[in-house]
Amino acid sequence: MAPGPLAQVLCQLPQFDDPDLLSRSIPFADAGIYRIADDLALVQSVDFFTPVVNDPTAYGRIAAANALSDIYAVGGRPVTALNLASFPRQLEREILIRILEGGAEKVREAGAVIAGGHTVDDEEPKYGLAVTGLVDPRHMVTTVGARHGDLLVLTKPLGTGILASALKKGVVSENEIREAIEGMTRLNRAASRAMMQVGVSACTDVTGFGLLGHAAEMAEASHVCLALEFDKLPLYPGTREMAAEGLIPGGSRKNRQYYLPRVANREELNAEQLDILADPQTSGGLLMAVAPDRLRGLKTAMEKRQVNFWIIGCVEKPQTGLLRID
Ligand code: CO
């Protein structure tokens, strides 16, 4: 759902006040976090969506990498996953098998197991997983904790929403957006391990609300302003060109409507900047706030694991807005 309507629904629901439900006190927590011992908590997350690419196996892999990502964003380790699939009766069953194979492949790579699942008949295919992981709640990383002076690090390029929209309209081929497909398929595991080895102030994964939304959430949760440098944002090849062609996914406009008021200098932004900032990401990277004296350690830990990363801005004191784009 779009961020506005979703927030309106969530705020009307009854709250569970179990003190072990740790995610309740974390603003914008994507995963449910439930403490079962002082040093152990369950991390649970679920996500599913319609195909973003044509190849069924690649779609399965991407959906699984995306579903596992919320576990990695808090520094957790995925343990079990349940498949969620809806599938049209008239489609070849072989397609469903390939989707599930792609998902299983990534779950295996994550060191987790598929413990079961559920399928329903539906007009269009949808696939994703409910994932359960473990984390030490004393060391988990959340949206809370970004501090003035921290640097902002992003571990995957942006543009998957725009490129998937171009693919759907037949403007590009799967081969032409190969890098984005590889990026969406990549687990955030290595980035998460590097993060936990070094210790960072805050982290979230960049998914449906775009960099704009997820950065705004981190800023609000941490009571700071995130200053992003637009020219430093990494983009998958073709993103600018496809955005200029107007291949903007529907979610982009909703993200913009909801989060743009949080940008202090929103009047200065041009259409291209807005299209990229608000672009909903599938299986996006981790956005981390890291103290400057830990940056060198993070760089070493990332390079050792062959994780790409970009420094895209810094954390400032709260200003007139939660975000500033330079
Ligand atoms: Co997330």
User: Distance, CA 21 to ligand 1 centroid (Å)?
Assistant: 18
For residue 16, what are the β-bridge partners?
A: none
* CA atoms of 87 and 106, how far apart (whole Å): 21
User: Distance, CA 285 to ligand 1 centroid (Å)?
Assistant: 10
Sorted by sequence, the CB contacts under 8 Å of residue 109 that are 6+ apart come out as: 187, 189
Sorted by sequence, the CB contacts under 8 Å of residue 299 that are 6+ apart come out as: 309
The pLDDT value recorded for residue 15 is 86
The pLDDT value recorded for residue 42 is 98
Judge whether residue 29 has pLDDT over 80: yes
Q: Which helix (H) or strand (E) is 79 found in, with range?
A: strand 77-87
The pLDDT value recorded for residue 180 is 98
User: Distance, CA 90 to ligand 1 centroid (Å)?
Assistant: 33
The pLDDT value recorded for residue 7 is 85
For residue 250, what are the β-bridge partners?
A: none
More confident residue, 67 or 25: 67
Question: 192-251: per-residue pLDDT in tens?
Answer: 999 999 999 999 999 999 999 999 999 999 999 999 999 999 999 999 999 999 999 999
User: Distance, CA 246 to ligand 1 centroid (Å)?
Assistant: 27
* CA atoms of 138 and 16, how far apart (whole Å): 21
User: Distance, CA 206 to ligand 1 centroid (Å)?
Assistant: 6
Which residue type sits at 24?
R
* CA atoms of 300 and 123, how far apart (whole Å): 48
More confident residue, 40 or 17: 40
User: Distance, CA 124 to ligand 1 centroid (Å)?
Assistant: 24
User: Distance, CA 41 to ligand 1 centroid (Å)?
Assistant: 17
Judge whether residue 20 has pLDDT over 90: yes
Q: Both ends of the chain: CA-CA distance in Å?
A: 29
User: Distance, CA 160 to ligand 1 centroid (Å)?
Assistant: 15
The pLDDT value recorded for residue 16 is 87
Q: Round the average pLDDT of the chain to a whole number and report it.
A: 96
User: Distance, CA 204 to ligand 1 centroid (Å)?
Assistant: 6
Question: 252-309: per-residue pLDDT in tens?
Answer: 999 999 999 999 999 999 999 999 999 999 999 999 999 999 999 999 999 999 999 9
User: Distance, CA 64 to ligand 1 centroid (Å)?
Assistant: 13
* CA atoms of 160 and 29, how far apart (whole Å): 23
Q: CB–CB of 163/239 below 8 Å?
A: yes
How far is Cα of residue 196 from the mean position of the Cα atoms in its chain? 18
Which residue type sits at 53?
V
**Count of CB atoms within 10 A of residue 245's CB?**
15
Domains of the chain and any CATH numbers? 14-135 (3.30.1330.10), 151-325 (3.90.650.10)
User: Distance, CA 33 to ligand 1 centroid (Å)?
Assistant: 13
CA dihedral 323, 311, 234, 261 (to 10 degrees): 0
Averaged pLDDT, 30-47? 97
Q: Alpha helix locations (H) across 111-222?
A: 160-168, 178-185, 189-198, 210-222
Residues, the chain: 326
Which residue type sits at 266?
R
* CA atoms of 286 and 203, how far apart (whole Å): 7
Place of tokens 């995306």: 66
The pLDDT value recorded for residue 251 is 94
**pTM confidence score:** 0.96
User: Distance, CA 66 to ligand 1 centroid (Å)?
Assistant: 8
The pLDDT value recorded for residue 89 is 92
CA dihedral 51, 52, 54, 57 (to 10 degrees): -70
Phi/psi-derived region of residue 283, left when phi > 0, alpha when psi is between -120 and 50, beta in every other case: left
The pLDDT value recorded for residue 304 is 98
Judge whether residue 30 has pLDDT over 90: no
Q: CB–CB of 166/318 below 8 Å?
A: no
Q: CB–CB of 58/105 below 8 Å?
A: no
User: Distance, CA 214 to ligand 1 centroid (Å)?
Assistant: 8
The pLDDT value recorded for residue 231 is 97
The vertex-68 CA angle with 93 and 146, nearest 5°, equals 155
Averaged pLDDT, 16-31? 91
The pLDDT value recorded for residue 118 is 95
Averaged pLDDT, 104-118? 97
Place of tokens 């921290």: 150
Sorted by sequence, the CB contacts under 8 Å of residue 287 that are 6+ apart come out as: 152, 153, 154, 155, 203, 204, 205, 206, 211, 214, 215, 218
Q: CB–CB of 153/291 below 8 Å?
A: no
